[in-house]
Structure 1
């Protein structure tokens, strides 16, 4: 099992870099295919493309995206949600496809966008997942069908002298076997497919036929967008062109490179390489570049504007209500938007430094700008572009020094653009980006170090792609220049190739130095190890100084501790696949909390996982939103106001009754300090074992206490003794030094004790805490309590209320709430902060499994031994 797990983990790691490797292969193919053309030829061909053809391609793109909406139309009918208005459905489909067409794992990316819309329209999360799967299968049906037809017909359109590429035979086999298997399942398999509680029915043969038809029309229309740019320029007929297009697109989809960029183009050129002459080849290259811009980039840009407009429209009451709401919205949006702008600015400077400048401009410029200044400006511009790409990550993380560095580098880039070749277009774009940055200083206020800034594998891959593309473009543009060692030292206004070589060397040196610094000079990622006794002592001092007793859960020792740089604050967390789950809010010095949360997220990013925060209160909700998380109400914490606590009144009748009953039985209540606990541990152990046996349950963890001698010795113990001095019940105490709050965690009692002994313990403990001038007594959280029951309440509230009402077979939600409610507490909301999307139910299930100690703990037990889940 260990070997298998290790192999799967290694395979998953390799799969992360597979798209990067395929992109590199595609780059090699593109380079070989384009070596017969000069960069100036390609640019001239692009400029000579008739506007009518470009407009026709744009019109076909619009038509094709409307056809894409038919995917959603079929999927909604398949899942039983045909009542969603057509305009809304089309808008959601267009936005999601514009984004998913440009990303890898397109079905997942499109699904997250659809979740944003469909969940508001009453479509359950599981059905949105079914819709995404249905659409992915629909596209595959069309692509596989046309791929099979295309791979069978392609040899008919190849010259007789050419041998058939081996990949064509593989595509034929894959498409045929996949289609045959799926159609057999549709025709013969009648039962629903169940996977871990998820149920999916295969569509009918009629629906499958419609899926295939719509997908085929989609693929044909998308091919027309490229074909219209080649009309009259190729001798190859449309039938042969369609075959090549479909096969190239299937290769691009299989690669999982975002948008198939580079892979589709290289496959298309490779398949046509022996069927077209040099002039036709140049037209194909220009058409592919225009096709990428028209079919992919233009819809993506419009989708981005559409999403921003939708968010502004959805938040229009907040925006008109108060200016600070606009500030919060900008805080959430600007880091992501501005990081993309910096990537754009850096990429522009790098690409500009790789290609030759206009000779006419250089002739004019050399009379104004000295040659050393021109050479230095070229190097400076390339270096500024590289640093801007790295700083984009800092802007995404809202680091203050990243903003200062971006402003400085953008200013340098503007000056360098003008001095190295008077590229005013480039300088204008950089100026606009700079003007957007200057007034937004307040949105980038994290006092963090750029040297310790984390880079996830996705960011590193993106930076590698940009640098690889830049270097390739430079060598491609200067490939006619014969290499000589003297090039490195040639300085002249016409020396574009030497300037490119020097800039490339500078970029390679700076990048290598940074990588070495990251490897040897920066602290390694946080080491996952459970705290020892000294670390728990240090944590206990901070917990006692706080005002929230929840931090005492850290003393269980079953969670990792993540400390701030000054070790004045920490988080406790556990790990599951793909997530680090923090238990509650940070503990310690409040001024350290925001930076600590960001550092926690960044360290999780080092490990390639996301962060989740369980049972957080309302104080830090803005910070969790800034981290890019969504909030889900878990329930409410019950807190008794001890300053107003009294046994008077009808509401306190049960507490008075318990107090009188056990006083007459000569039972007494005592508080035993930590040093006295070891002597009574054997008796506490017997009570605990008896309690667990009687309740037919097992020890819990994570958010609930369990019997551990070391843990119990760290806190005072409240005990109830009978008339013979024998301990019959106990609970360990959580107390803050400032007497702001007191609570209990582990509570157990002898099964032979008189009924109501825990009511007696609670009553005596509250009276004692009141006499010690404590402010609040926390009874812990009542899960799923306080969720809205209104018709327009969020979907999560509706699901939670159903569980609250019907899940008594596994957990006494309603009884637990009723027991805590009889103490007339104040109710404080508790939230889950987690990444939005379809993963939330799985996250909650994983947390429940952590707490219960496994699936048996969830479904096989009906009571928990903690004040946070008091058994009624």
Structure 2
């Protein structure tokens, strides 16, 4: 089995693992609560005193403030001590409100923090380390509490917890893990190399703080559940904390969004020795309330916080633009979760019996068909909201309008089908939170053609499976009969559930079939033919930058928008779609084009990467959840002030005088003239490659291709006999904003300095032709910071830059371009954050070098 096949198999297992664990969780929950009726469980919820609920909510608020301690500690460990406490706390609260309700909480939390911390000067690599530090901090507290509880209170464990030997195994694992960690902290001071960057272990003092902060966090979060059980369940607090910790860790590891179902099933299984009916009912009700108080309410409050900011920003039009850009990425993620919540509420409501007393009252006001139709509509609305949540995540404008409509419809049918005012209030709150956010959803795209990632589909499947299970559990005492399908009555909850289930199944299957039949699968990629290159050339000559001329090489695929007024040039590998530079064409089309490109890559099971992008579109890449890594700087000469005067131009001036005396001359060849000299150009190119003992490159560098050269003008240097001795093909914009060259070759037998002569003549010619600037291309690794607190990527880059000849003459290339006194503009890699960045850079190097062999040989 190849490594690529193994990698794909691992990815599939990873995607399906949460679904399998959720199915196991449903099975355990079903076995644990099957002795109770749903009506008894709901009654236990209504019996919970308001003061108890208020105490649980107050503890939740305190706990979330303590959660900010993770960020405070991680930032100080990473060396960032000047971020204001208020900003740090706001970022932490918003991050935890979202990440606690999602799977892959470490990734989600890191992504959210990146939006804030990157604006405050914390680079991407350090944010990855901060997120990893926070994860380890949580596990350190969980392991410590699990060990203490299982060792000091064994007699309580035996009385109240299922399978005490399993808990003893937990204590053994906790002890071994803590021993390894503390031994490393106390004895190992060298950095740990992890896929291209170094991790330092914290000091013993920091490790103590890690244990303290995470232990307080876990104890407080357990107190939220404990206060709901206080005096009602016969279990010691020490045993309770051990069970809570084990269930929490299982929920986190499962990667099920918010650990929903998995945490509850693990907790119920470990506490299944409680066989007193009233206590068991209280335990089940407390777990449901804990899910609402500790997870769902903070999510709603986070949305309310963003709503408050929106109201404030409408008053202060000059509000912090950096924060606005940050929110443009966070708002879609947060509101997609809120829509998932809304859809889940409607599906669950359609699966459980309505209040019989309320239905009796409604029967006097509403005809039966209205109630029946409202029930069906409510379930269908819940299903559609699950799908629209994906559109909200992708910032699609139609999804925003559709969500408002469906939320409004959901409010109406919630009142009509059973006057469920609590459900209507939740939907109304989410609707009000969404109203001011129109500006964040500007992307025009078809909802029928939006992509659904595998994790998203798994989430939708889990929510549908959970609501279906709940319905069958609620009506398990109703004996099935074919007549149920067409029984209509005010008290016919079970028939209504069956009809709603059928409607949901039909709509889901029809939607799936429409995706399979009406939307063609991703087409086989084909390199552009001549006609497509002609179309691309008409666009790129209208641009202000010349980098897009690389598309004319024909070695990259072109990804067009629907209107075909913008495209992205890219190449593909098994794991990545790597775009070369920014999009080309109409700038208003870029945002939607970038999202479609990422979605199309996702359909192939790949991730989108953007190489050598400029600073203008960085907010778009950040909005897509990508991290930025500086690759170097592009040199651009201002031709309006260019001259050969001054000491800095000695080399070019001397070369020009020298070759003019030798009767060498500079010419620009176009069209048929280029085709006529093609054999001589190839002869020069072959001799140059042989002399340099190198091979042609590609992707971000031009190579000798006759079709490509015929599409551009060519600057040549001819000797006194008219023989071409050097050439360079030109990239020229129609509006003369920029002039540049790509392929530069010269006859090895030419006099020394011929390329200086070519550059000098080109720039003087460009100035005469009123070009604004001349691009000398990028100097790799130039402009990286050399400060002690610079990110690791900058330290690696500057080291490679300084070592020069041992790798590649980066410093010599920079010095040559610096002779022209250019303006330097940064160029970045926009890629998924994490440990894969070094591998991505190696893959790009392979593309440029034409294979792995080309990396290690010229």
Q: Report what 1:601 is aligned to.
A: 598
Q: Report what 1:240 is aligned to.
A: 239
Q: SS at 1:479's partner residue?
A: coil
Counterpart CA distance in 1 for 2:327 and 2:560 is: 30
Query: 1:64-463 maps to which residues of 2 (within 5 A)?
Result: 64-65=63-64, 68=67, 71=70, 75=74, 96-115=95-114, 126-147=125-146, 164=163, 171=170, 174-175=173-174, 177-179=176-178, 181-182=180-181, 185=184, 189=188, 191-203=190-202, 211-212=210-211, 215-216=214-215, 218-302=217-301, 319-321=316-318, 334-431=331-428, 433-434=430-431, 444-463=441-460
CA-CA distance at 1:110 after TM superposition:
3.6
Q: Report what 1:868 is aligned to.
A: none
Moved more, 76-85 or 349-358: 76-85
Q: Report what 2:571 is aligned to.
A: 574
CA-CA distance at 1:503 after TM superposition:
0.6
2:487 to 487, 490, 501: 490
CA-CA distance at 1:506 after TM superposition:
0.3
Q: Is the 8 A contact 1:632 1:796 kept in 2?
A: no
Q: 1:366 to 1:296 in 2, by over 3 A?
A: closer
Moved more, 267-276 or 829-838: 829-838
Q: Is the 8 A contact 2:115 2:326 kept in 1?
A: no
Q: Give structure 2 stretches of 5+ with no counterpart.
A: none
Q: Is the 8 A contact 1:457 1:608 kept in 2?
A: no
Instruction: Output one character per residue of 1:432-480: Cα deviation in whole Å (capped at 9) or x when no partner.
Output: 5555656765654444222211111122122222222222222222223
Q: 1:346 to 1:134 in 2, by over 3 A?
A: closer
Q: Report what 2:687 is aligned to.
A: 687
Q: Is the 8 A contact 1:150 1:244 kept in 2?
A: no
Counterpart CA distance in 2 for 1:367 and 1:85 is: 60
Counterpart CA distance in 2 for 1:622 and 1:190 is: 38
Counterpart CA distance in 2 for 1:198 and 1:766 is: 42
Q: Report what 2:754 is aligned to.
A: 757
Q: Is the 8 A contact 2:634 2:778 kept in 1?
A: yes
Counterpart CA distance in 1 for 2:89 and 2:772 is: 56
Q: Report what 2:45 is aligned to.
A: 46
Q: Report what 1:865 is aligned to.
A: none
CA-CA distance at 1:185 after TM superposition:
4.8
TM-score by structure 2 length?
A: 0.85
Q: Does structure 1 residue 556 correspond to structure 2 residue 550?
A: no
CA-CA distance at 1:580 after TM superposition:
3.0
Counterpart CA distance in 1 for 2:273 and 2:790 is: 59
2:562 to 562, 565, 574: 565
Q: Is the 8 A contact 2:307 2:436 kept in 1?
A: no
Q: Give structure 1 stretches of 5+ with no counterpart.
A: 862-872
Counterpart CA distance in 1 for 2:425 and 2:159 is: 53
CA-CA distance at 1:22 after TM superposition:
0.6
Instruction: Output one character per residue of 1:597-630: Cα deviation in whole Å (capped at 9) or x when no partner.
Output: 3321221232444434334456656655654556
Q: 1:66 to 1:345 in 2, by over 3 A?
A: closer
CA-CA distance at 1:354 after TM superposition:
1.8
Q: Report what 2:505 is aligned to.
A: 508
Q: Report what 2:465 is aligned to.
A: 468
Instruction: Output one character per residue of 1:579-605: Cα deviation in whole Å (capped at 9) or x when no partner.
Output: 433222323455644432332122123
Counterpart CA distance in 2 for 1:735 and 1:430 is: 56
Q: Is the 8 A contact 1:119 1:795 kept in 2?
A: no
Q: Is the 8 A contact 2:29 2:265 kept in 1?
A: yes
Query: 1:415-814 maps to which residues of 2 (within 5 A)?
Result: 415-431=412-428, 433-434=430-431, 444-532=441-529, 535-544=532-541, 546-575=543-572, 579-588=576-585, 592-617=589-614, 620=617, 623-624=620-621, 627=624, 637-640=634-637, 654-672=651-669, 673-693=673-693, 699-708=696-705, 711-712=708-709, 714-736=711-733, 741-769=738-766, 776-782=773-779
Q: Is the 8 A contact 2:161 2:272 kept in 1?
A: no
Q: Is the 8 A contact 1:691 1:749 kept in 2?
A: no
Q: Is the 8 A contact 1:526 1:603 kept in 2?
A: no
Instruction: Output one character per residue of 1:500-539: Cα deviation in whole Å (capped at 9) or x when no partner.
Output: 1101100000001111111121021354444455644553
Q: SS at 1:748's partner residue?
A: strand
Q: SS at 2:570's partner residue?
A: strand
Moved more, 545-554 or 181-190: 181-190
CA-CA distance at 1:13 after TM superposition:
1.8
Q: 1:137 to 1:338 in 2, by over 3 A?
A: closer
Q: Is the 8 A contact 1:569 1:587 kept in 2?
A: yes
Q: 1:704 to 1:135 in 2, by over 3 A?
A: same
Counterpart CA distance in 2 for 1:847 and 1:307 is: 39
Q: SS at 2:577's partner residue?
A: strand
Q: 1:133 to 1:735 in 2, by over 3 A?
A: closer
Counterpart CA distance in 1 for 2:446 and 2:827 is: 32
Q: SS at 2:372's partner residue?
A: helix
Q: Does structure 1 residue 6 correspond to structure 2 residue 5?
A: yes
Counterpart CA distance in 1 for 2:743 and 2:698 is: 11
Counterpart CA distance in 1 for 2:834 and 2:306 is: 16
Q: Is the 8 A contact 1:115 1:837 kept in 2?
A: no
Q: 1:836 to 1:131 in 2, by over 3 A?
A: closer
Counterpart CA distance in 2 for 1:596 and 1:86 is: 38
Q: SS at 2:234's partner residue?
A: coil
TM-score by structure 1 length?
A: 0.84
CA-CA distance at 1:249 after TM superposition:
2.9
